[in-house]
Structure 1
Amino acid sequence: MADRFLRFASWVFHVFADGELVLLDARSNEFVLFDRDASRELVDAIEGRALSPLAERLCDEGTLQHALSMPRLNRSHAPGLDDFTWSESIRYKARHHASSPSAREVLAAGLTLAKICFLLKCVSLFRLLKSSHGKAFSEDPAKATLDREICALIRAARWLPCKVACLEFSLALRERLARHGVNGAVEIGVQKYSFMAHAWLEVNGQPLGEPEHVVRSLHRLRRSE
C-alpha cells in the first residue's frame, strides 16, 4: 500500500507539541487546535497505522492528502510563553531600534503597510508566506537601516485606519528590507494555552526586532516536508 501514509496539504502549517496538533490553514487563515485524543488519531493516520473518521473527514476536505512515504511531523519541545502580546513586541522594537526616520521614509512605510493590509484581505496567507521566503542566505541588514525601517513602520502604523499587528508588520518589514537587498522569511509560532499566534521576520535564521526568548519559546509552524 504505497499510499497508506498521509501528509498535510501544502497550504497547511502544523506543529505537534506536548501531544497536541495545532494547524494553520493558510488559505482561510484559520487555526485549529486538536486535543490529545484527536491528535493521536491524526498521527496514527499520518504514520499509516489506522484511519479514523476524523482523518477521513480531513482527507475529504483536502487538509490531509495521500503520501508515498511517511512524512516528518514538525515536533516542537519549546517551553511556551505566558501572556506575550503584540504591544510587548512593539515596545521592544521601539526600545532596541530607536531611530529618526524621515517623513519620506515614514510615508513609504505607510504605503507598504497599507498594501500588505489590502493583500491580506484579497490574497491567501499561503501565497503571501510562500512569496516571503527568499534566498537561503542573505546579507544581514545594516543596523542603521534596520532601525530606520522598523521605526518608520511603527510611526506609520499609528496613522493607518487598518489593523496592523505582528503579521502585517512582519510582511511589511520583509518588503522594506528587500529594497535594501535583504531577503527575509516570515515565521509564525504559537502558544497553546491561552492560545496566541505571533509572526516575526528572520534573516539567516536570526529574528529581527524580537526578543530572542520569544522566538525560542513559541512552537513554530511548518509545512510538511
Structure 2
Amino acid sequence: MADRYLTFAPPILHVVAHNELVLLDTRSNRFILYDAAATGEIMRGINGNATGPLVQELTAEGVLVTSRIKTSVNRSGAPGLDDFTWSESVRYKASQHLGEPSLKQVGGAVLTLAKTCLLLKYLDLSRLLAADRNASIPMRRVDRGIIDAEISALLRAARYLPCKVACLEFSLALRERLARHGLFGRVEIGVQTYSFMAHAWLELNGQPVGEPDHVSRSLHRLRGSA
C-alpha cells in the first residue's frame, strides 16, 4: 500500500528519550517536547496505524510526511547531565586547548563568527547543517596544534562581537575554520529532557572537539529520519 506510513520531514531532527519525543524544527530553530501520551500517538501514526488529531496537525504543518516504507525512529538511553552550561564549555576549551593563534587567525575567526551569527539570523539551521555532508570526506591526520589555535582564536574573537556567541555559533564557526585545514567535522546537537537543555558541539572522526567526553555521551543526540 503506497504512502501508508509517516516519517519526519527532512528539516525535522528528533529523538525519543524515556518514552518522550523531542523535536527540533530546523526551519524555525524551535524545540518541541511531547509527553509520553502524545509521543505514543505520534509513534502509532509513524507505524501506519490510525492517526489522531495531533498527527493530523503535525502532517498539516509539514512536520510529518507520508512515506512508502517504515522508517526507524531515533531513540536514546543516554543518562543526561545534572547541569552543564556554555560557561563551563568555554572554561574547558580555554584550559584544554591552549593555542597560540596568529593575528591573522584571530581576525579570520572574528569574520567567521560574525558571518555565522548573521546566517543564523536569516537562514534556516537546516541549510547550515547541510555542510556536515563534508564530514564523510577523507581527512588528513588531525593536527592538535591546528585545533588548539583555531579554538583559541574563536574564544578571543567572541570577545569583540556584539552578537551572542554560544555553543551553536561556536560549533558552526569552528567547523568552518577547521575545514580550511582539510579537517571536516560534523556539528552535533544533543538534549536532555529533565530539566530541558540543549547543547551543540563539533566532532571529528566521531570524537568531540573542545568538549569533555562525558558531555557527548550523556546527551540524547538529535537525528533526522533514516
TM-score by length of 2: 0.97
Partner of 2:69: 69
Equivalent residues of 1:141, 1:177 under 8 A apart: no
Partner Cα distance (1:133, 1:184) in 2: 9
Aligned-pair CA distance for 1:135: 3.7
Q: Could you tell me how far 1:69 is from its partner in structure 2?
A: 1.0
Deviation, structure 1 residue 67: 0.6
- Are 1:224 and 2:225 matched, yes or no? yes
Distance in 2, matches of 1:140 and 1:175, equals 17
Q: Does the 8 A contact of 1:132 with 1:171 survive in 2?
A: no
Post-superposition, which runs of at least 4 consecutive aligned residues in structure 1 deviate over 4 A?
Answer: none
What secondary structure sits across from 1:169 in the alignment? Answer: helix
Q: Which amino acid aligns with 2:218?
A: S
- Equivalent position of 1:39 in the other structure: 39
Residues 109 and 176 of structure 1 are in contact (CA less than 8 Å); yes or no, is this contact kept in structure 2?
yes
Q: Give unmatched runs, 5+ long, in structure 1.
A: none
**Counterpart for residue 78 of structure 2:** 78
1:138 and 2:139 aligned: yes
Q: Please give the alpha-carbon distance, in whole angstroms, between the structure 2 residues aligned to 1:176 and 1:117.
A: 15
Task: Work out whether residues 3 and 67 of structure 1, in 8 Å CA contact, stay in contact via their aligned partners in 2.
Answer: yes
Which residue number corresponds to residue 209 of structure 1? Answer: 210
1:48: which partner in 2? 48
Deviations 1:119-147 (A, max 9, x none): 11111100000123314243343000000
User: TM-score normalized by structure 1?
Assistant: 0.97
1:102 deviation in Å? Answer: 1.9
2 CA distance for matches of 1:127 and 1:170?
A: 15
Aligned length: 225
Q: Which residue of 2 aligns with 1:189?
A: 190
| Mean Cα deviation higher: 139-148 or 111-120 | 139-148
AA in 2 matched with 1:161: P
Cα distance, 1:79–1:140 mapped onto 2, change above 3 Å: farther
Instruction: Write the deviation string for residues 167-224 of structure 1: whole angstroms up to 9, x where unpaired.
Output: 0000000000011011111110001111111011111111111100000000000000
Equivalents in 2 of 1:141, 1:177: separation in Å? 10
The offset of 1:101, in angstroms, is 1.4
Secondary structure (helix, strand or coil) at the match of 1:78 reads: coil
Residue aligning to 1:112: 112
Give the distance between the partners of 1:50 and 1:218, measured in 2 at CA: 32
Secondary structure of the corresponding residue to residue 160 of structure 2: coil
Letter in 2 for 1:3: D
Corresponding residue of 1:24: 24
Alignment of 1:163-182 (within 5 A): 163-182=164-183
Q: Which residue of 2 aligns with 1:158?
A: 159
TM superposition shift of 1:105: 1.3
Q: Which secondary structure does the structure 1 equivalent of 2:113 belong to? A: helix
RMSD between aligned alpha carbons? 1.0
The answer to whether 1:60 aligns with 2:55 is no
